[in-house]
Amino acid sequence: MSDARSGLLGALGAGAGLWVFLPLGGRVSLTEAAAVLLAPPCLLALARCRRGTALAVTAGCWFAGLAVSQVLHPGPLPSAVRAFAAVIALVVTAGLLCSVLTRGQADRARPRRAVLVGFAWGQLVGLFVTPPSAAGLDLWKFGGGQAVTLLVLLAAERFSPHTRRHALPLLLLVLTAGHLAVGSRVLALVTFVALLGTLFAPLSWRRPGRVRAALLAAAVVAGALVLQHAYTSLATSGALGADQQIKIGFQDGDLGLIVGGRKDFVFLLAAVAERPVVGWGPGAVVPAETKAEAVTWLREHDYPLEVYDFLTFVRPATLYLHSVVLGSWATAGLAALPFWLLAMALLGGGIVRAWRRGGIAELFVLVMAGWHVLFSPLGDTTRGHIALALALALTAVAGGDGRGDEDARDRVALGRADGAAEPAADPESAQAQRRPGGQQHAHRGLVTACLSGQHQQLGHHDDERRDQVPPEGGDRAGEA
């Protein structure tokens, strides 16, 4: 088997292995287990990527912050062990995926596509082989919808440029409406962002960078508000079913779903505000007074607290860590923030590059990972996703700075996606590039003389120079 084929199979298996779990003191994916066993080479692969070393160093700061907070505010030992293991698993898995994405492939796009295909099919298989506990509540929301959407987008990337330009926005609009109809608000929002990325793709190189970034950001914010209003209206009227009508009833308040859909954020922010430097330790045990402040704030802003809220957010002594970045801050203090700030910067850069290249499937995965960092817990179903997104972002710039060449390739790709033909090669230019160095000088001198009407006087000199042509590459070596 060739190295290229084995590399593609490795990428496919690494992506699929993120969704098949082993009961090792918790749910640990096959890919995570392999990364821990191969930790040293995985860390070396991470260090070879641009900003990979910085990611590893900031992860060490996060780990140290957890250790300090555990000493200052001791909590249950199992919680501490799981927190330390999550940091290690996330970093080494990102390193393993970086190694897979850069292994022996002249065309870096092929392993990237293979790992995404494996990621999507692995999630579908994992829902039935090793399903997460939440899958019983809503199979579509907790895995099925994301996998199907990613497979559809991967298939759409194989369309011809003309078909893709016209069919992809309509396809994404249908997917957004479908997710919204079944109550999967996050999937609807992320798919809608991918739709906006498709519609704004022609502006990705025709406008200045700040202008296009501002236009896309404004469109995302406006679109999110429109989606929120549409969902609130449909759910309140009962058009989405009785379950969604009940759900929206205890999530609506002064600030709408921004707070109502994530009431746990208020409790996390109250805990962080009280101890922002060292945090509360991996156990995240906080006093009742801290949670009482969050309850008071919610009631002052007309957010009702139901039985579920009291059982999940108020009654337990620990925090409900339903945000990776805020949960890390609450448990490890400020030492966790450099890692997640760098991670968000990497994800943002990866999103921009995927958008400019027209990689709609990769864009979807990266945006969803960004959502997990902000609004999801660091659990078994999010660690692998975030690690994959970080690896995709890191390997997108693994070749060095070279931004000018990358911009040119992106413009060519966008031109093809828009159905524009590449400029035809100039026969004279192509012939000149094939000439040895001395012939190029002579040819340029002859053209200049022709334009000035003196070409007859230069014929003899041109013949002499042709007889003195140095070997191939001679002029280049001299110039160097």
Tens of pLDDT, residue by residue over 394-430, are 998 644 333 333 444 444 444 443 444 444 444 444 4
**Candidate from 54-68, 212-226, 290-304 with smallest mean pLDDT:** 212-226
pTM (predicted TM-score): 0.80
Instruction: Write the CA distances from 183 to 125, 133, 143, 227, integer angstroms.
Output: 23, 19, 14, 12
> Which band of pLDDT confidence, cut at 50, 70 and 90, is reported for residue 190?
very high
Average pLDDT, stretch 274-282?
94
Please say if the pLDDT value at position 191 is more than 60: yes
**Candidate from 51-55, 380-384, 423-427, 476-480 with smallest mean pLDDT:** 476-480
**CA 278 – CA 260 distance, rounded (Å):** 28
Q: Could you tell me the maximum CA-CA distance found in the chain, to the nearest angstrom?
A: 99
**CA 332 – CA 318 distance, rounded (Å):** 14
Please say if the pLDDT value at position 6 is more than 50: yes
**Candidate from 153-157, 248-252, 295-299 with smallest mean pLDDT:** 248-252
**CA 179 – CA 190 distance, rounded (Å):** 10
Please say if the pLDDT value at position 392 is more than 90: yes
Please report the pLDDT score of residue 262 as a whole number.
85
Contacts of 34 (CB under 8 A, 6+ apart): 17, 96
Please report the pLDDT score of residue 182 as a whole number.
85
pLDDT tens for each residue of 444-453: 444 344 444 4
**CA 224 – CA 220 distance, rounded (Å):** 6
Please say if the pLDDT value at position 342 is more than 70: yes
Please report the pLDDT score of residue 424 as a whole number.
43
CB 202 within 8 A of CB 414: yes
Please report the pLDDT score of residue 210 as a whole number.
66
